[in-house]
Amino acid sequence: MKSDCIQTTTCQERKKDPMEMFHSGQLVKVCAPMVRYSKLAFRTLVRKYSCDLCYTPMIVAADFVRSVKARDSEFTTNQGDCPLIVQFAANDARLLSDAARIVCPYANGIDINCGCPQRWAMAEGYGACLINKPELVQDMVKQVRNQVENPRFSVSIKIRIHDDLTRTVDLCRKAEATGVSWITVHGRTVEERHQPVHYEAIKIIKDNASIPVIANGDIRSLKEAENVRHITGTDGVMVARGLLANPAMFAGYEETPLKCVSDWVDIALELGTPYICFHQHLMYMMEKITSRQEKRVFNALSSTSAVLDYLRDHYGI
């Protein structure tokens, strides 16, 4: 677990406590947990462009607790990486609370993944299968609350919805009663992938909750984010693919500005981002600003130096 040993109090002293953000009345703009992508370098980039709160990629709590190697590879942070939520996949309250205690000095809170629909995750008892196990979710929240001494350390959940929305509302009420700080709702069922997001379902959940709720699903511009907030009444919006395509989205840009591409190059090189990740992010970011022919050439580049030469020659970066 590589870090500059940032303490949670540092974030609080800088008035970056997520709960204060949610109660400010302003739309809280959140970078979603994305496997491989929402790592330190990308979080650093989106924070430069008006992202308020960032999540780590999902980390399997059991591996994180048992393996120093897993901790070092899965969780990297620094002093500017704040406020930060560490998302865990877990099905065991003790292991989750142990993981929460490990990251507590370096983050503002943890999130329990109750929404991942991938088969491997559900087969392990992680992710979206937890929306059918409210008692287990409650137990995990309680254990973390009991084990982490910092009262401002948040414990949140990210869920998908049931076909029968009364079950989702019941889950959220039980989680709230146990001490969940906020709930992020991806407005699709476990079976749904590319179908339209059920924003009206998120609104019903928000109307039945007394804690902050974040809306998630198919938000690709700041205007869409504000519209979703208007429809749902939520306190924040969480974005995944929209930010991959345009990390400056929350600052109001319709497509990735070249300054953002330049910033990514500087950040990625400074933090030692592996080439595949460095290149992949650029392919997403430049999707709308390159021709089909340019994409073919750029996507085939195979080294950092080749990418840097291309950006310099074609875009003056």
Is 240 annotated as ligand-binding? Answer: yes
Instruction: Report the alpha-carbon distance of residue 64 to residue 103 in Å, rounded.
Output: 10
Is 33 annotated as ligand-binding? Answer: yes
Q: Percent helix, strand, coil in the chain (nearest 5)? A: 50, 15, 35
Is 65 annotated as ligand-binding? Answer: no
Is 35 annotated as ligand-binding? Answer: yes
Give CA separation, 147 vs 56, 99, 113, 248, 276, in Å. 21, 10, 19, 37, 38
Is 225 annotated as ligand-binding? Answer: no
116 is an active site residue: yes
Is 238 annotated as ligand-binding? Answer: no
Q: Which of the 8 DSSP states describes residue 215?
A: E
On whether the CB atoms of residues 255 and 289 are closer than 8 A, the answer is yes
Is 34 annotated as ligand-binding? Answer: yes
On whether the CB atoms of residues 85 and 109 are closer than 8 A, the answer is yes
Instruction: Report the alpha-carbon distance of residue 195 to residue 188 in Å, rounded.
Output: 8
The contacts of residue 215 (CB under 8 Å, 6+ apart) are 184, 185, 187, 199, 202, 228, 229, 232, 234, 236, 237, 238
Q: Which of the 8 DSSP states describes residue 290?
A: S
Catalytic site residue from 31, 116, 129, 260: 116
Give CA separation, 23 vs 27, 43, 79, 211, 283, in Å. 10, 23, 24, 10, 37
Specify the amino acid at residue 146: N
Phi then psi dihedrals of residue 181, to 5 deg = -75, -45
Residue list, annotated binding site for FMN = 33-35, 87, 186, 240-241
Q: Which residues are catalytic?
A: 116
